[in-house]
Chains A and B, each alone.
Chain A
C-alpha cells in the first residue's frame, strides 16, 4: 500500500482527534461567552475545571497536524501556507490569545477583577472566531478554488473563501464545537459537580446546537453541489454510506441526550465528529487540495514517509498510554494506579451513584 496514503490516514485521524478534543475546548469557550446571569459563575467554574488539565495536550494535536502535513506533503503545505495566509493568521491569533487568556483568567487571584474579566472575554470571543476561520479554511480547500487557475498559490486570491459556502461551513464548525462541548459538559456537570440545574441547562444547549449543526450541515451539503463540485462528486461516488451514517449517529446523539443517557451521548458525539470529517476526507480523495494537489503529486519521498511513520508509531507508543492516564485521572471513572486513597474512594462512590441513576 502507498505509504503516503497511510500517512494521510494518520493525519486525518489526528484531525478528527483535534476536532473532538480541541473542538470541545473551543466549544467550552463559546458557552463561556453565553454564560450570563446567576448561572454564569458556576458555568465559568465548570469550564475551568473541565479544561484546566487537558487544554494544553488537546492543542498539541494541531501542532502534530501542521508538522505532519509539512513532512508528508511539503508542496501542498507550501501552497496552503500561502493561499490560506489570512484565515490561518486569524486562527493563529485566536489560538494564541485564547490559550493565554485561559491561563491568565484561571490563575487570576481575584476572579471579579478587571484583569480576570477582560481575559475571560478574550477567551470566549476568540473561541468563536478561531473555529469559524478554521471552517472557512476547510471550505476553501474543499471548494477547489483555493489555488488560482494558473496554479500559483496567492494569498490575495480569495475565491473559495469569500462565499456563502465558506460562511456556512465556518458557522457549522462553531456549532459543532459548541455541541461537542455541551455534551461533555453535561457529563461533567452531572458526574463531577452533581448540579442538576447546570446539567439540564447543558442538555438543552447540546440539543439546540446539535440541531443547528445538522441544519447548517444540510445547507453546506446542498451548497457543495455548485460551490464544491469535487467534494459533491466524490461523495456521490464513495462517501454516501458514511454521510448517511453521520446523519444517523447525529440522530442517535439527540435521542441519547433526550433520554438522558449522557455517557452514551458523549461516545456518539465523538463518533459523529469522526464520521463527519471522515466523509469529507473520503469525498476529497485523492486530492490534498482539489484540484491541483493530489496525494501522488505532492507526497514526499516514500522512504522519508516510511521513516516518519516509524517515528509516529514510536511516538504513539509513549503517547497513547500517557494520554489514557491523563484522561483516567481527570475524566474517566475507572480505577487507575497512582490515585490517592480518598480520591479512589470518592470515584468508586461516584460510580455507584451513577449506576444507581442509570438503573432508576
Chain B
C-alpha cells in the first residue's frame, strides 16, 4: 500500500508526463501543418499537400488524446489537490480560464481543419490553421504562467491566514513567467521538429528517398534548427533566474550542497544529500560561478543554507537536469551538423551515422521535455506553492488514492498501447493521391477507407 500523498503525487506525475507529450505536439505540429499547407498552395507542388494530409491525420488522433489527457489534469487539480486549487483558484484562476478559451479556440478550428477538407475552399482551409497554432502557443503560455506562479507566487498578501489583496495580473506576470513560458514553448518546437524528423530519418534509413520524405525531413529539421539554439539560450537565462529566485531548486539542479565561492559545475554523477557530494561527476572548477554570475569567484548558495525539510530530492533533480541539458546539446549538435553538411554539399546529407543521430534526437528531445518538467516540479518540492503551501498540506482527504493511481495508470497504458498501434497502422497506409484542381487540391485517400473521413 502506498501512502496517500505518494499515490496522489504519482498519479499527478504520471498524468503530466503523459499529457505533456501531446501538449508539446499540440503546440508544434499545427505550425508545421500551417507551413506545409501554405507551401502547397504557393508552390502548387502536390507533395506538400500529401505531407500536410498525412500529418493532419496523425494530428487528429494525437490531439484528441491530448484533449482527454488534459481533461484528466483539470479534474485532478480538484480531485487530488483541493487545498491547492482553493488557494490557486482564488489568485491565479485567470490564466487557467484564459487557457480554457485558447484551448477552446484550438478545438474549434481543429474541427474545421481536420474535418473540413472537402467543405472549405483551399484558402479558407489554410487560414483555419492559423488560429490553431496561435491558440496552441497561447494556451501553453497561459498554463505555464500558472505554473510559474506556483514557483514564484505573486499578486496576493496573506493576512491572518487569509489570502487578501489579490491582483490577478500580477499573479500572471509573476517573476518566473517570462522565463518559464518561453522555455516551454520553444521546447515544444524543438521536440516537434526532432520528433517529426526522426520519423523521416527512419524512412531514409530504410532506403526511401522520394521527394515526400525529403521534404518532410527538411521542414522538420528546419524547425529544429531555428528552435534549438534559442532554447539553449533560454535555458541559460532560466538557470540564472533560478539562482536568484529559487535557490533551493538551483542548488539541487547543480548538486551544490555547501555554500562556496568559485563553485564547480558537476556534470553527471549522483547527488547524495547525506554526504553532500556528487559522486562520479565530471567537475569543471569554478564553472558554475562563471555561468551563474560571470565571475569565477562568485559565491553560490548551497542547500546548507536551508533547513533540511525544505530540500527537494537533489538526486532526481540533478540527474534530470543533466539529462535535459545533455539531450538538448546532443540535439543542437545534430541540427548544426545536418545543416552544415547540407550547405557544404548543397543537398540533403544521407550519411547513416547522421540519420541515426537525427533519429536519436527525436526521442531524446521528448526526454528533455519530460526531464525539464521534472526539474521544475520536483525541484519545487516540498512546496506546491513555493514558500506558501506544502504538498503534504495540499493533498485531498479522500481515501483509496492508491486504487485511483492504479486505475489511471492502467488507463494510460491502455491508451498508449492503442495509440501506438493505431499510429503505426495509419503510417503504413499508402500515401494519399493528390492532384491539382480548380478547388485547389483534390485528394484521394487510398481505397481501404471506411466510414470515417
Name A's B-contacting residues (CB within 8 A): 41, 44-45, 48-49, 52-54, 56-57, 59-60, 62-64, 66-68, 70-72, 74-75, 77-78, 80-82, 85-86, 88-89, 92-93, 95-97, 99-100, 102-104, 106-111, 115, 119, 154-156, 300-301, 303-304, 307-308, 311-312, 315, 318-319, 322-323, 325-326, 329-330, 337-343
CA distance A48 to B112 in the complex (A): 15
CA distance A174 to B89 in the complex (A): 31
Instruction: Check if B71 sits within 8 Å of A54, measured CB to CB.
Output: no
- Could you jot down 30 A-B contacts, CB within 8 Å? A45-B451, A52-B111, A56-B110, A56-B111, A59-B67, A62-B71, A68-B97, A70-B89, A75-B86, A77-B82, A77-B85, A78-B78, A82-B397, A92-B71, A97-B411, A99-B68, A100-B65, A100-B68, A104-B61, A104-B418, A104-B419, A304-B90, A304-B91, A308-B93, A308-B97, A311-B101, A315-B97, A315-B101, A319-B108, A326-B112
Question: Closest chain B residue to A303 by CB distance?
Answer: B166
Which A residues touch B199, using CB under 8 A? none
Q: How far is the CB of B267 from chain A (nearest CB, A)?
A: 40
Q: Is B246's CB within 8 Å of the partner chain A?
A: no
Instruction: Check if A66 sits within 8 Å of B118, measured CB to CB.
Output: no
Instruction: Check if A319 sits within 8 Å of B110, measured CB to CB.
Output: no
Known contacts A62-B71, A63-B70, A104-B419; 9 further A-B pairs (Cβ under 8 A)? A60-B104, A66-B78, A74-B89, A77-B85, A86-B398, A304-B93, A315-B97, A315-B98, A326-B112
Given contacts A103-B65, A319-B105, contact A341 B397 (CB under 8 A): no
CA distance A301 to B89 in the complex (A): 11
Which B residues touch A85, using CB under 8 A? 79, 396, 398
Instruction: Check if A329 sits within 8 Å of B451, measured CB to CB.
Output: no
CA distance A63 to B107 in the complex (A): 12
Given contacts A301-B166, A340-B118, contact A89 B79 (CB under 8 A): yes
Q: Is B373's CB within 8 Å of the partner chain A?
A: no
Q: Is B425's CB within 8 Å of the partner chain A?
A: yes
Contact-size category for B: 35 or more
Instruction: Check if B111 sits within 8 Å of A53, measured CB to CB.
Output: yes
Instruction: Check if B104 sits within 8 Å of A57, measured CB to CB.
Output: yes
CA distance A110 to B451 in the complex (A): 10
Which B residues touch A322, using CB under 8 A? 105, 108-109, 131
Question: Closest chain A residue to B446 by CB distance?
Answer: A109
B273-299 interface with A by 8 A CB criterion = none
Given contacts A77-B85, A95-B71, contact A311 B418 (CB under 8 A): no
Instruction: Check if B96 sits within 8 Å of A82, measured CB to CB.
Output: no
CA distance A264 to B258 in the complex (A): 75
Interface centre among B70, B91, B97, B429 (most CB of A within 10 A): B97
Instruction: Check if A88 sits within 8 Å of B85, measured CB to CB.
Output: no
Instruction: Check if B452 sits within 8 Å of A48, measured CB to CB.
Output: yes
A-B CB proximity, top 3 nearest:
A71-B93, A338-B124, A315-B101
Given contacts A340-B118, A340-B120, contact A326 B111 (CB under 8 A): yes
Q: How many residue pairs between the two chains, A and B, have CB atoms under 8 Å in the bound complex?
A: 247
Q: Is B69's CB within 8 Å of the partner chain A?
A: yes
Partner of B439, one of A301, A318, A342: A342
B87-126 interface with A by 8 A CB criterion = 87-91, 93-94, 96-101, 103-105, 107-112, 114-116, 118-121, 123-124
Q: Is B422's CB within 8 Å of the partner chain A?
A: yes
Q: Is B407's CB within 8 Å of the partner chain A?
A: yes
Q: How far is the CB of B98 from chain A (nearest CB, A)?
A: 6
Instruction: Check if B98 sits within 8 Å of A52, measured CB to CB.
Output: no
Question: Closest chain A residue to B408 by CB distance?
Answer: A93
Instruction: Check if B79 sits within 8 Å of A329, measured CB to CB.
Output: no
Instruction: Check if A56 sits within 8 Å of B64, measured CB to CB.
Output: yes
Name B's A-contacting residues (CB within 8 A): 57, 60-61, 63-65, 67-72, 74-79, 82-83, 85-91, 93-94, 96-101, 103-105, 107-112, 114-116, 118-121, 123-124, 127, 131, 164, 166, 168-169, 396-399, 404, 407-408, 411, 415, 418-419, 421-422, 425-426, 429, 439, 448, 450-452
Which A residues touch B83, using CB under 8 A? 78
CA distance A311 to B439 in the complex (A): 39
Instruction: Check if A109 sits within 8 Å of B426, measured CB to CB.
Output: yes
CA distance A48 to B115 in the complex (A): 11
Question: Closest chain B residue to A105 by CB distance?
Answer: B452
Question: Closest chain A residue to B109 by CB distance?
Answer: A322
CA distance A243 to B98 in the complex (A): 35
CA distance A129 to B78 in the complex (A): 21
Which B residues touch A41, using CB under 8 A? 451
Which B residues touch A63, using CB under 8 A? 70-71, 74, 100, 103
CA distance A330 to B169 in the complex (A): 38
Instruction: Check if B118 sits within 8 Å of A92, measured CB to CB.
Output: no
Instruction: Check if B397 sits within 8 Å of A155, measured CB to CB.
Output: yes
Question: Closest chain B residue to A98 by CB distance?
Answer: B68
Instruction: Check if A111 sits within 8 Å of B451, measured CB to CB.
Output: yes
Instruction: Check if A330 sits within 8 Å of B119, measured CB to CB.
Output: yes
Instruction: Check if A115 sits within 8 Å of B421, measured CB to CB.
Output: yes
Q: How far is the CB of B328 from chain A (nearest CB, A)?
A: 31
Instruction: Check if A70 sits within 8 Å of B112, measured CB to CB.
Output: no
CA distance A86 to B111 in the complex (A): 32
Q: How far is the CB of B110 from chain A (nearest CB, A)?
A: 7
Question: Closest chain A residue to B440 by CB distance?
Answer: A340
CA distance A304 to B92 in the complex (A): 9
Interface centre among B77, B99, B100, B421 (most CB of A within 10 A): B100
Which A residues touch B67, using CB under 8 A? 56, 59-60, 99
CA distance A67 to B99 in the complex (A): 10
Q: How far is the CB of A102 from chain B (nearest CB, A)?
A: 8
Q: How far is the CB of A342 from chain B (nearest CB, A)?
A: 7
CA distance A312 to B101 in the complex (A): 8
Given contacts A78-B82, A109-B429, A342-B439, contact A325 B71 (CB under 8 A): no
Instruction: Check if B97 sits within 8 Å of A67, measured CB to CB.
Output: yes
Instruction: Check if A88 sits within 8 Å of B397, measured CB to CB.
Output: no
Partner of B97, one of A71, A92, A108: A71
Which B residues touch A109, using CB under 8 A? 425-426, 429, 448, 450
Q: How far is the CB of A89 from chain B (nearest CB, A)?
A: 6
CA distance A312 to B93 in the complex (A): 12
Instruction: Check if B120 sits within 8 Å of A338, measured CB to CB.
Output: yes
Which B residues touch A342, using CB under 8 A? 439
Interface centre among A74, A95, A155 (most CB of B within 10 A): A74
Which B residues touch A48, using CB under 8 A? 451-452
Q: How far is the CB of A166 from chain B (nearest CB, A)?
A: 19
Instruction: Check if B422 sits within 8 Å of A89, measured CB to CB.
Output: no
Q: How far is the CB of A39 from chain B (nearest CB, A)?
A: 14
CA distance A68 to B114 in the complex (A): 29
Instruction: Check if A70 sits within 8 Å of B68, measured CB to CB.
Output: no
Question: Closest chain A residue to B58 by CB distance?
Answer: A107
Which B residues touch A88, using CB under 8 A? 75, 78-79
Which B residues touch A80, using CB under 8 A? 78
Which A residues touch B451, using CB under 8 A? 41, 44-45, 48-49, 106, 111
Q: How far is the CB of A83 from chain B (nearest CB, A)?
A: 9
Instruction: Check if B103 sits within 8 Å of A60, measured CB to CB.
Output: yes
Which B residues touch A301, using CB under 8 A? 90, 164, 166
Partner of A70, one of B60, B78, B104, B397: B78
